[in-house]
Amino acid sequence: MNSFAYLAVTIGIFALACSVDAQLPNNLYYLVNHTISQNNAQIRLYEIQINVTDNRFNHYVESVRHNNRMVERTIDNYVQDLTVFGFLNVTNQNCVVKYAEVPNIDAHKLAINTCANKAKIAFSGALNAAQTQITSAKSYNLNIKTGTETCYTNNKSDNQKMGDCINLRISDSNKYIDAALNRVDRELQVNLDLFDVISRDATECIYNAEINLGRAIENNRETLRLCKLSLKPKTNMMFDEN
């Protein structure tokens, strides 16, 4: 529940206590306020679960993007390797000048970001249905207050009828609240299953991006190795005799 909605419920309960509630019999006063507060706590608990699930989605997407650090580190390390390789001798230096290829860091980071963006899009709107049910539950909880006011207005002179009316309003509202929260519970389970699917897809996507980067570097290493062998001076035959 956002702060505005929570404040609205609190003000609503306070207003009830200061108007109709103050004139209710003690047992009905306790029943109405206890029910609203109890429902509000239950709704809040589910809302926290939705927020936790949403944060889990967002944090996962950011963890995927964090693999860009791996791209930067891998390419930086290869640049250092090329520098050391080129300084060893003239042959190596010539090979580096002719054949060294540093992977395009932007292209490989784009591959990682594409994995993250796909996951973000897949998560987008996944919790909308659960949020809608939370809104409904809040609305039904507020109906207890308005229903109590109606019951009081229509049955001021008969506490029995007033109590029956209020109990019926509470029972009806609680039935709808329970149904809405049960749907939230199912939606949360659906979203956890969705998280498993999306995270597996994203992991495979990252793996492919990392494999492509590693393959590009290893292919270039092999090219430099072959260059080095082809340019290596031939040993004088006289030293090969005996």
Query: Positive or negative CA dihedral for 30, 33, 36, 39?
Result: negative
Is 214 a member of any domain? yes
Per-residue pLDDT for 12 more than 90? no
Is 152 a member of any domain? yes
Task: Write down the pLDDT at residue 242.
Answer: 37
Is 88 a member of any domain? no
**Least confident residue range of 6-20, 87-101, 139-153:** 6-20
Task: Write down the pLDDT at residue 20.
Answer: 61
Residues 145-168 have pLDDT tens digits of 999 999 988 888 888 998 999 999
Is 73 a member of any domain? no
Is 84 a member of any domain? no
> What confidence category does residue 237 fall into, taking pLDDT thresholds of 50, 70 and 90?
very low
Backbone φ/ψ region at 101: left (φ over 0), alpha (ψ -120 to 50), beta: beta
Give the integer Cα–Cα distance in Å for 138 and 127: 17
Is 235 a member of any domain? no
Residues 183-217 have pLDDT tens digits of 999 999 999 999 999 999 999 999 999 999 999 99
Beta-strand runs (E) in 114-184 = none
- The percent of residues in the chain predicted with pLDDT above 70, rounded, is 86
**Least confident residue range of 22-26, 55-59, 112-116:** 22-26
The label of the residue with tokens 């009905």 reads 28
Is 36 a member of any domain? yes
Give the integer Cα–Cα distance in Å for 239 and 233: 14
Task: Write down the pLDDT at residue 232.
Answer: 64
Task: Write down the pLDDT at residue 29.
Answer: 87
CB 133 within 8 A of CB 180: yes
Higher pLDDT, 241 or 92: 92
- What H or E segment, with its residue span, contains residue 69? helix 67-88
> What confidence category does residue 19 fall into, taking pLDDT thresholds of 50, 70 and 90?
low
Per-residue pLDDT for 6 more than 70? no
Per-residue pLDDT for 16 more than 90? no
Total domain count, the chain? 1
Residues 96-151 have pLDDT tens digits of 999 999 999 999 999 999 999 999 999 999 999 999 999 999 999 999 999 999 99
Name the residue range of residue 177's domain: 3-68+104-230
Is 113 a member of any domain? yes
CB 118 within 8 A of CB 201: yes
